[in-house]
Amino acid sequence: MPGATLSRVGKSFGAAVLFDGLDLSVGDGEFVVLVGPSGCGKSTLLRLIAGLERPDSGEICIGGRRVDQLPPGERSVAMVFQSYALYPQMTVAQNIAFPLRMAGRPRPQLDESVTRTCELLGLAELMNRRPAELSGGQRQRVAIGRAIVREPDLFLFDEPLSNLDAGLRAQMRREFAELHARLGTSTIYVTHDQAEAMALADRIVLMRDGRIEQEGAPEDLYCRPATLFAAEFFGQPPINRLPGRILRVSGSETEIAVGDCERIVLGALGTPLAAGSEVTVAIRPEALTVVPEGHMIALAPRRVGFVEWFGGERHARLGTGDAALVWRTAGDRAIKTGESIPLHVAPERLHLFDRDGKAIPCTPLPNL
């Protein structure tokens, strides 16, 4: 039963507590991406699993076997760092073969494993080159090959693409996805890049200050954020947020004042809130539209401040101050600076959060 389980893991550095009873599981063949801001504990968590750090409390199991008291070499994990950590004096083949040599693998078996790994990664023509003769993407493949050749129960990747330019990062993302589909090995992948997380993950684990903020499929975190932090972490441009206040709660209806210029009516709230309670109204830029379809909420017209064109889409900033919105629309739509545009949003695409930043469920209005 490959995969990994962390139960009630605690870790402190001096007086600073990083993890306090953290739980995490990775299923057999699952690709889990840990994402979050710098300092949230992503890389430290990988180091605990790999055995490069020891937990103060709790258990770490890999493949059903407890490993938190074992040295790194006995854990059946392979870790790839962002720095590649290749030996400059060795060839591609020698770098990939290194962990097998250290394990005492017989030469014929070693050569067969290295050749098979190089063919899998498109390195067969580069086996006799040294790292200095390779591109950044090729060096990254060698580092991955050195992990693959060991055939571990668990792969650990710590920001492996952070040193590559944007074009190469996109290419390597595709290669990571294809490689995982072929190997099917349980994987934990750390990144601070939300696009990388969305593109690669079976499941995303969003971390914040040493704890798990939210976890789930990429579309769950994007479309159904559990907190305002999660809503703001994903999405480009970032989600729009507007100050709101509960005006009236009456049976199946809730009226909310949004800023100083508009009122919206929603269904019953899943979290009981009294009139006067402060909330945050959040709307994804792509959820806004000028053409209402079906039952939609009409927002007050806003004047266009500036427009950015990105080829296939335009980002327009409308309104000012707390009422400002960013609208993401098609690149061929003509938008003029200074014009006033009335926007609409479907009720189900509007997110509400309480003063603590927790999502407030909202039922549809009865007549919708």
Q: What's the domain count of the chain? A: 2
Q: What is the CATH number of the domain that holds 325?
A: 2.40.50.140
To 10 degrees, the CA torsion angle through 216, 218, 223, 225? Answer: 50
**Is residue 81 located within the same domain as residue 162?**
yes
| One domain for residues 84 and 180 | yes
The answer on 354 and 268 residing in a single domain is yes
> Residue 104 burial (CB < 10 Å; 0-12/13-18/19+)?
exposed
Q: For residues 149 and 292, give the distance between their C-alpha atoms in angstroms, rounded to a whole number.
A: 56
Contacting residues for 25 by C-beta, under 8 A, at least 6 apart: 3, 4, 5, 6
DSSP symbol at 174 = H
> Domain range spanning residue 322?
238-360
Judgement on whether residues 158 and 126 belong to the same structural domain of the protein: yes
- Assess if residue 85 is contained within a domain: yes
**Per-residue pLDDT tens digits of the chain, which is 368 residues long:** 569 999 999 999 999 999 999 999 999 999 999 999 999 999 999 999 999 999 999 999 999 999 999 999 899 999 998 887 899 999 999 999 999 998 888 999 999 999 999 999 999 999 999 999 999 889 989 999 999 999 999 999 999 888 888 888 888 899 889 999 999 999 999 998 998 999 999 999 999 999 999 999 999 999 999 999 999 999 999 999 999 999 999 888 999 999 887 999 999 898 889 999 999 999 999 999 997 777 889 999 999 999 999 989 999 999 999 899 999 999 988 899 999 999 999 999 999 999 999 999 988 776 55
Give one DSSP letter per residue of 249-276, joined into a string. Answer: EETTEEEEEETTTEEEEE--BSS---TT
Per the domain annotation, does 367 fall within a domain?
A: no
Q: What is the dihedral of CA 364, 217, 289, 228, to 10 degrees?
A: 80
| 195 shares a domain with 242 | no
Q: What gap in Å lies between CA 301 and CA 322, rounded to an integer?
A: 14
Q: Are residues 191 and 281 part of one domain? A: no
The last residue of a domain, from among 169, 201, 232: 232
Q: Residue 1: its pLDDT value, please?
A: 59
CA of residue 364 relative to chain centroid, distance: 29
* CATH label of the domain that carries residue 34: 3.40.50.300
CA end-to-end distance (rounded Å), the chain: 48
If asked whether residues 220 and 262 sit together in one domain, one would say: no
Quick one: 103 and 124 in the same domain?
yes
Does residue 366 belong to any structural domain of this protein?
no
Among 232, 251, 269, the domain-final residue is 232
3-state secondary structure string across 5-24:
EEEEEEEEECCEEEEEEEEE
Distance CA 290, CA 44 (A): 46
pTM of the model: 0.91
pLDDT score, position 366:
65
The predicted pLDDT at position 142 comes to 94
Decide if 213 is inside a domain.
yes
Q: Are residue 193 and residue 316 in the same domain, yes or no?
A: no
Q: Are residues 224 and 242 in the same domain?
A: no
Contact criterion met (CB below 8 Å) for 297 and 267: no
204 and 266 in a single domain? The answer is no
pLDDT at 66 (0 to 100):
97
Q: Are residues 272 and 151 in the same domain?
A: no
Which pLDDT score is estimated for 172? 86
The predicted pLDDT at position 2 comes to: 66
Structural domain ending residue among the three candidates 208, 232, 256: 232
